[in-house]
Amino acid sequence: MEEEEDLVVVISRSIVIPRNAKKSTSSKKKIHLLPWDLSRLRFGYLQRGLLFSKPYPKIDTVLSKLQTSLSLALDRFYPLAGRLVKTKNDDDTVSFYINPDGSGVEFVHASATNIEVSDILRLSTTLSSFFPATGVKNCNGVSRSLLMVQVTEMKDGIFIGFGYNSTVADGDSIWKFLNAWSEICSKGLVPEPCQRRLQLKGWFFEEIEYPIRIPDPEAKAARVTTASSGLQELMFHVTKENALKLEAKANDEKVSSLQAVLGHLWCSMVKHSGMSREEETHCRLPIDMRRRVDPPLEEDCFGNVSQTGIARVTVGELMDNGLGWAAGKINDMERSQTHENAEASAEKWVRDVKIPVSVGSKDLVVTSSHRFDVYGNDFGWGKPVAARAGPPYVSGRMVVFQGVEEGSLDFQACLLPQVVEKLSEDVDFKEFVSIVL
């Protein structure tokens, strides 16, 4: 396969600012960061993308419409157009906050005329160069835009890739922003919901003083993994029917269909991992805390209001107890994500600050959500044919998207080649999961 960097050529770079940036930035207050924001400062920007097939307008028209509508959308979702600010304290610590100053969003136009839509669907070409924030860490948001966009014209389609700083927004917020941006682009006007004042998450940990003081996350160089480093990317597809079958198979634990699917993926991945029975394995997934904190936040509250929940078991326990038990452990973990537990965890973190570079390689790392409206993003030339994720790459990563068919699930997996080989031969695994290599 040809080197991807040779196939994707950057045509232009520009900055898109909110339409009313000069009028409104003076009234915007700084946004302080919570422990679950600060703990991500050394992680890479999260990157997602939407794939569109022909027909669509000429590329100049596409770029103009996207930039104009993005400027309008940023008027409401103004934190995305800001920058991180790092202040040095007198005790050799630093503090961070978001300055919603309207500095703007980096916008890249690229060309990859030798790559086809089918290449992206099959992941037969690596995707790093289709995304604008590859290699950028969250702490770099002091000088880089908190949202970056790249529009790549392909042989028979367009790929809109974006990267975002996960201290400013979680998946729920970023997809709601994309839903609004696409609607503005398609209709040429700002819909009524986007004219309402944006609700920010605020500060809800009463026992923690802000700004929080932490060691400088840039003091030790931390390289973000941008290449696949021997890992293999592939797509898993689970039909609605098979998700319900897995739920029924695990029904003694009264779990959801998604928890049952995740339990199946977790058991199967660990089964072929080569880990010993005594080793601990984790299932990590984002938990939306908007309705879990006290008092609850509005569901459309903007910001990073997600924390990572971790189900911990040994390999032996997972292999001996199977699907229903694994799904039950995921369910137990989700149910434990209360305001009290989140506050206790945040207070503990402040007393003993840890800012990791990445998560463990022996984990099932679930990101995104099947609830995010991916296929409703029609910018004016039809709905996307697929959604894909970009770097950073982590072994065991599973980016979940809603499937094209209602109720189905797609997972973009990143695994060791030997695990992929064994999964492709595992009849029990493939009974419920289709593999797209």
Q: Give rounded-to-5 percent helix, strand, coil for the chain.
A: 35, 25, 40
Residue type, 262: L
CB 125 within 8 A of CB 167: no
CB 394 within 8 A of CB 358: yes
Give residue for tokens 């990157």: 47
CB 219 within 8 A of CB 390: no
CA 112-113-118 angle, to 5 degrees, is 85
Helix (H, G, I), strand (E, B) or coil at 74: helix
Tell me the C-alpha to C-alpha distance, in Å, between residue 230 and each of 4, 30, 227, 321, 393.
16, 42, 8, 31, 10
β-pairing, 397-402 with 364-367? Answer: parallel
Active-site residue set:
378
The answer for residues whose C-beta is within 8 angstroms of residue 86's C-beta and 6 or more apart is 94, 95, 96, 139, 142, 216
Tokens read off for 28: 């915007």
Size of the chain in residues: 437
CB 71 within 8 A of CB 296: no
Distance CA 189, CA 186 (A): 8
State phi, psi for 327 to the nearest 5 degrees.
-65, -35
Quote the radius of gyration of the chain (alpha carbons, Å): 21
